[in-house]
Amino acid sequence: MTVSPSPRSVPSIRDVAAAAGVSYQTVSRVLNDSPRVRPETRTAVLAAIERLGFRPSRAARALSLGRARGITVVTSNTVLYGYATTLQGMEEAARAEGLAMGIRVVESAAPAEVKQAVDYVSDASAGGVVVIAWDPMGIAVLEALPDDVPAVAVVEPAAPDRGRVAIALDERRAAADATRHLLELGHRTVHHVAIPSEGGPGGRLAGWRDALAQGGAEVPEVLGCGWDIKSAYAAGRRLAAEPEVTAILCGNDDIAQGVRRALYDAGKDVPGDVSIVGFDDIPGSAYATPALTTVRMDFAGLGRACFHAAVAELTGQAQPEPVLVPPSLVVRESTAPPPRP
């Protein structure tokens, strides 16, 4: 779990008002450069702000502009398991709190498309904003958001600090655990079929490399593929043609399905000839043949944590501590020791 929270204990606008001996409405007028403030009062308020280290919150500005009490989620995808289950967690949390939740899909990182999404969530009716920034589209929107929009981000581990509350699952450690499991079974190395969102320094690709380096194993060429099973099948066909391949870590469970089919068509047995590990633990993984060893990810918990963080940003409350179940390896039938020479 990776979290970049807002400060948990910060002076409020009312603290500034008390220190300056004025009303909080007067402090608000100073912050908004209203001409309806006497110079000596403005000086006192600014001195109190400096003394207390007060920083005007996005939430205070948002509420003063009448932003709706609800959230809008910006995402490039609503179907893939990680995205869909994160959205489900947010929706469940919103329903439990009696708040509305909207979704704005951004289809590309083209400037015009990003601008439309940013304009949409900048409107007061959007309420608090959650950006799923696992891909170029989400990242582009996140970076283009005005500072006064109360927003949080769902990010890849070790994503750059963009001045927003950011929450992530510890995929790097989970990928290292999965790779280490295969090495401990006796495989000389582990090949990797990567999904498009793995490029970050704290993600699945990095964890795979960590475990290989720690185990003194060769680091094979990474085979990239799209989000679709067809491209995973093509990557699997390439690996099936290489006799030395005995273990494969797949970027997610859908990719593992495509790779598994390619191995089957090439006459390779799983796990007799090749072991496979997936990622995410989608509902069907336990019922595949063989049942898929995979990494269980708490996407629903991630969604709930982001919802509560967005509400805190919107209302100016202290950020709650995210409650997340750490990723965990689920060992099933698709992994075994390598075949004997």
Residue 154 is assigned to a structural domain of this protein = yes
In terms of Cα–Cα distance, which of 304, 302, 299, 301 is closest to 99? Answer: 304
CA–CA separation, 271 and 336 (whole Å): 6
CA–CA separation, 83 and 280 (whole Å): 11
- What is the domain count for the chain? 3
Residue 331 is assigned to a structural domain of this protein = no
Mark whether 28 and 44 lie in a shared domain.
yes
- Domain with 252 in it: 171-296
Average pLDDT (124-144) is 94
Mark whether 248 and 137 lie in a shared domain.
no
Residue 8 is assigned to a structural domain of this protein = no
CA–CA separation, 248 and 276 (whole Å): 5
Mark whether 165 and 126 lie in a shared domain.
yes
The residue behind tokens 């204990």 is 9
Mark whether 197 and 284 lie in a shared domain.
yes
pLDDT in tens, 20-35: 999 877 887 888 777 7
Mark whether 31 and 138 lie in a shared domain.
no
pLDDT in tens, 11-20: 778 888 999 9
Mark whether 33 and 52 lie in a shared domain.
yes
CA–CA separation, 56 and 314 (whole Å): 13
Residue 62 is assigned to a structural domain of this protein = no
pLDDT in tens, 303-336: 999 999 999 998 888 899 999 999 999 999 999 9
Residue 323 is assigned to a structural domain of this protein = no
Mark whether 76 and 141 lie in a shared domain.
yes
pLDDT at 134 over 60: yes
Mark whether 133 and 180 lie in a shared domain.
no
Mark whether 190 and 270 lie in a shared domain.
yes
Specify the pairing of strand 128-133 against strand 151-155: parallel
- CATH at 219: 3.40.50.2300
Mark whether 180 and 273 lie in a shared domain.
yes
- Cis peptide preceding 271, ω within 30 of 0: yes
- CATH at 34: 1.10.260.40
pLDDT of residue 202: 64
Q: Is the pTM of this model over 0.85?
A: no
pLDDT in tens, 75-126: 999 999 999 999 999 999 999 988 899 999 999 999 999 999 999 999 888 9
What are residue 40's phi and psi, to 5 degrees? Answer: -65, -35
Burial of residue 107, with CB atoms counted within 10 A of its CB: 0-12 exposed, 13-18 middle, 19 or more buried: exposed
- Cis peptide preceding 11, ω within 30 of 0: no
Mark whether 244 and 274 lie in a shared domain.
yes
CA–CA separation, 118 and 108 (whole Å): 13
pLDDT at 188 over 60: yes
Residue 187 is assigned to a structural domain of this protein = yes
In three state form, how does the secondary structure of the chain look?
CEEECCCCCCCCHHHHHHHHCCCHHHHHHHHCCCCCCCHHHHHHHHHHHHHHCCCCCHHHHHHHCCCCCEEEEEECCCCCHHHHHHHHHHHHHHHHHCCEEEEEECCCCCHHHHHHHHHHHHCHHHCEEEEEECCHHHHHHHHHCCCCCCEEEEECCCCCCCCCEEEECCHHHHHHHHHHHHHHCCCCCCEEEECHHHCCCCCHHHHHHHHHHHCCCCCCCCEECCCCHHHHHHHHHHHHCCCCCCEEEECCHHHHHHHHHHHHHCCCCCCCCCEEECCECCHHHHHCCCCCEEEECCHHHHHHHHHHHHHHHHHCCCCCCCCCCCCEEECCCCCCCCCCC
pLDDT at 169 over 90: yes
Written as one letter, the residue type at 233 is Y
Mark whether 153 and 205 lie in a shared domain.
no
